[in-house]
Amino acid sequence: MRARPGEQNGVGPAGQMAVLGEPPKDEAVIAWELICKQTSGTKRDMRVLVIEDDRQLARQVTRELQRAEHDAIARNDGAEGLQAALEHPPDLIVLDINLPGLDGFSVLQRLRADHSTARILIMTARGEVNDRVKGLKAGADDYLPKPFSMNELMARIEALGRRAATPTATDLLIVGDLQMDVQHRRVSRAGKVIALSPREFDVLQVLMQEPGRVFSRTELCERIWQRQHEYDTRTVEIFITRLRKKLDSGFDTPLIHTLRYVGYTIRPPVELGAKQGA
C-alpha cells in the first residue's frame, strides 16, 4: 500500500522503515527486539513471500529478510501473489491489504480455503481497526499497522517462525474426543479432521495443554504473541469464536467454554456432565 498524501516512505537509522512524523519507538517494539536477540539461536531459515504493491517497500522488506538468511521473494499484486503462494507454498506471508488485481482479504480467504498452513501477517493502515478485525477473522495470524519500523516487522516475523519451529514435550494432546497431533499440526474430533489456521492451532494448543484451567484474555495473548498484547481485546474473542465454530460443527456438546469476566477453558464433555451432576 502506498503512502498517503503528505507521507513519505524512507529508511531511518538501523534499517528502520519510517514515515515523516512517525512517533519514537514504543516499549512494545523494544520488547520485541529484545525477544529476538535473546532467542536468536532458535531462529530457522524460512521461505517468506512478500505481497506488496509498493515496489520500493517490497524490495526493502525482501532485502532485510535475505540479510536475516531467509529465502524471500516479492510479488506486487494480489493475483500474482496468490499464484506464487499456491505453486510454491511459503512458511510465512507478509500480505498488504490494499492490492491491485485481487485485494489482500481475497488472497487471505483463498489461501485458507485451500488449507494453506502458512503463517500470514497482514499490513494495514494505522487506525483501520475494522480491517484488522476482518483480517483476523479471515485467518490472519498477526497484523502490523503502517507506518512501521523495519525492526518491528522483522521481530514479528522471527517470532512467528520460532513458534512454528519450537518443539513441545507432548506430541499428542487429547481432550475428550478431540485430538491434536502437535508435531504434524493436525487436529481431529471423533476422527473428523479439522483444518485450522496456524494461529487457531496455537490458541487451541495452549488450552489443550492444561484442560480445565481457565485462561484470561491477557494470559492467552502473552502465551501466543509472547508479549503484552496491544490489540483490541476482540482479537482473542475472534480466535475463540473461530475455534468454536470449527470444533463444535456437527457435535452436540461444546468443548470450549467461557467463564464470564474470567476467561476461557476447554473441558471434556464427561467432566462437564460430572460437574453439573455434583
> Considering all CA atoms of the chain, what is the largest pairwise distance in Å, rounded to the nearest integer?
65
In a domain, 2, yes or no: no
- The count of structural domains within the chain is 2
For residues 146 and 186, membership in a common domain is answered with no
Q: What number is the average pLDDT over the span 104-133?
A: 85
Task: CATH number of the domain at 186, please.
Answer: 1.10.10.10
Q: What number is the average pLDDT over the span 112-122?
A: 88
Task: CATH number of the domain at 154, please.
Answer: 3.40.50.2300
Structure confidence by residue, pLDDT tens digits, 126-156: 566 778 778 887 888 888 888 888 988 998 8
More confidently predicted of 166 and 19: 166
The whole domain housing 201 covers: 172-277
Average pLDDT value for the chain: 78
More confidently predicted of 117 and 270: 117
Structure confidence by residue, pLDDT tens digits, 81-107: 999 999 999 999 999 999 988 999 999
State the pLDDT at residue 99. Answer: 92
CA separation for the pair 177, 66 (Å, rounded): 43
pLDDT band at 217 (very low <50, low <70, confident <90, very high): confident
In a domain, 3, yes or no: no
For residues 158 and 186, membership in a common domain is answered with no
Among 148-157, 213-222, 251-260, the least confident range: 213-222
In a domain, 140, yes or no: yes
